Chain A
């Protein structure tokens, strides 16, 4: 009932509001909401820093992360280096900086691939319905029933050796595994939001005008059903980074000489009691990166969801 009361007030709002401000698209409204949200700025700064780290690590450190000074193995933070050195004598600070590249690459590429596959399949099953929907939904359910971590382990261990040849192939193999198992949740989401948008009168009006299916999808369904996908994709980007670290930790994701937070965390386990800083710094970077994307997803959701405004 109180919703009704507020609605009664807010319905009246745009009437004159529009006179003052021309061209208020929903995207610009979303940006307006984001701009005033401190969570957005915190997460944006975090993501920007990590992205910069991934693209241009030498901006942050001049030390070579593969320069092992065994003599200074396990030295503590402050003894000549910021974060100390690990068991191999690598500079932990430099390792953390260089580790960002693998994480960001895996996160971004997995998300892009999962969004493309999941979004496309979700769109097809939501828009066409019927047998297409049934088929794709069942296929999605099958993938959905495979636990992500277990599935990834099996997938990765079954890949041919050739994938371990160079850095990009190693990254790609993790990306493939995660995208292969991650698309169903995005497809489900896309499907349900397409099904919500499809019966709207503006879609019917376009049909009545004789618009082609591709036009209906492009200008009516896609722009109105994309918001949940963007939100969940942003949040799961953080999740993929965490899973990549987990796989690397278990020794089946990235492998040395690749540099990854997961690998470093795994290597630090031996000194958990004696040299906790070896574990602490890569874990901190990992957590901050995951947190950045999750917070960003939350902020974007608040901005895109008109109900919270």
Chain B
């Protein structure tokens, strides 16, 4: 990929609008809210989420199903179905420009060259009736106006880059002719085709076997280093996070309950939920372990309990937790947690 090697600063290649990150700051999400208006009521999927993403940084957003982690990714990409989704407040700034207030056609041109995404289910994300090479080439033709044969040539090089064996022979193959791991590689190739500055990976390996998962994560890591992309890794797997991410944000019921450097978070979690999660997973390198489980279930997003949303499941909860909602605050330098007793938890 000689053509893209030098473009470490992101810029729009077709419309002339250029995006330049200031001090490497790519993405700024500020106090974001997302609601789903359903016939049964309003579900608050994201409830005031803020974070930054810099060049070459990888941020993991960790959460269980219903925590709002995928909705966050979709809100950044601008692919939420609205309605039923509504964004009642917040900003998503890419290189200083607010994506939410941008006209739709300008925003559409950011998808691909600036911000790009990989999905969990590669089979349903690829169009089954077109050859994979054609689908990758289409990215170059659409966004860069490259002619057909050059685009196909670039697609082949990209397939080689994501280590698809015999790429030149398989460029005309259809998605169903590839294995799950190979399809995910094709998805990655499409996502990085236009050299985005930000790559969002939404559970990229959840559907894959563990040996294939290791291959894909290694590839993603390598590509990120090589291109200095900002990577947002959405996952529920504490193991994957530990292997890849620099920073981690733990999400619960639509808010960040903890945000920290990965090493620090794993060694001393500052929120009871994070702590409970770490204690509830069986570890491959331990035997005779007694699993401790977090009791109960995450709350219904239409009826998030007052006070701290985690309080019904928290063994440390006191009256104040049922009354006052704790804000995400800096407990010790660089460590943020939304818990009234964060100091106590971090030192426990």
Contacts and interface: CB of A to CB of B under 8 A. Distances in A.
A contacts B: CB pair < 8 Å = yes
A4 interface: yes
Contact of A1 (B38, B65, B119, B303): B119
A8 B70 contact: yes
**How extensive is the interface on chain A, given as a class?**
10 to 19
Nearest to A7: B65
Contacts of A130: none
B85 to A, nearest CB: 7
Q: Interface of chain B, helix or strand or loop or mixed?
A: loop
B113 to A, nearest CB: 20
Contact of A16 (B70, B84, B85, B300): B300
Contacts of A16: 299-300, 303
B302 A13 contact: yes
B39 A5 contact: no
Nearest to A17: B300
Contact of B85 (A4, A5, A12, A15): A5
A71 to B, nearest CB: 60
B43 A9 contact: yes
Interface in A269-309: 309
Contacts of A2: 74, 79-81, 85
B45 A5 contact: yes
A13 B80 contact: no
Contacts, number: 57
B308 to A, nearest CB: 17
B66 interface: yes
Nearest to B71: A5
Q: Interface of chain A, helix or strand or loop or mixed?
A: helix
Interface string B52-88: 0000000000000110101100100001110011000
Interface residues of B, number: 25
Contacts of A10: 38
A131 interface: no
Contact of A13 (B40, B65, B85): B40
A6 interface: yes
Nearest to B81: A2
A9 B70 CA distance: 11
Nearest to B39: A309
Interface in B297-311: 297-303
A2 B300 CA distance: 19
Interface in A1-50: 1-2, 4-6, 8-13, 15-17
Interface of A: 1-2, 4-6, 8-13, 15-17, 309
Interface of B: 36, 38-40, 43, 45, 65-66, 68, 70-71, 74, 79-81, 84-85, 119, 297-303
Given A1-B74, A1-B119, A4-B70, 16 more contacts: A1-B79, A5-B45, A5-B81, A6-B36, A8-B71, A9-B45, A9-B66, A9-B71, A11-B65, A12-B65, A12-B300, A13-B300, A15-B300, A16-B299, A16-B300, A16-B303
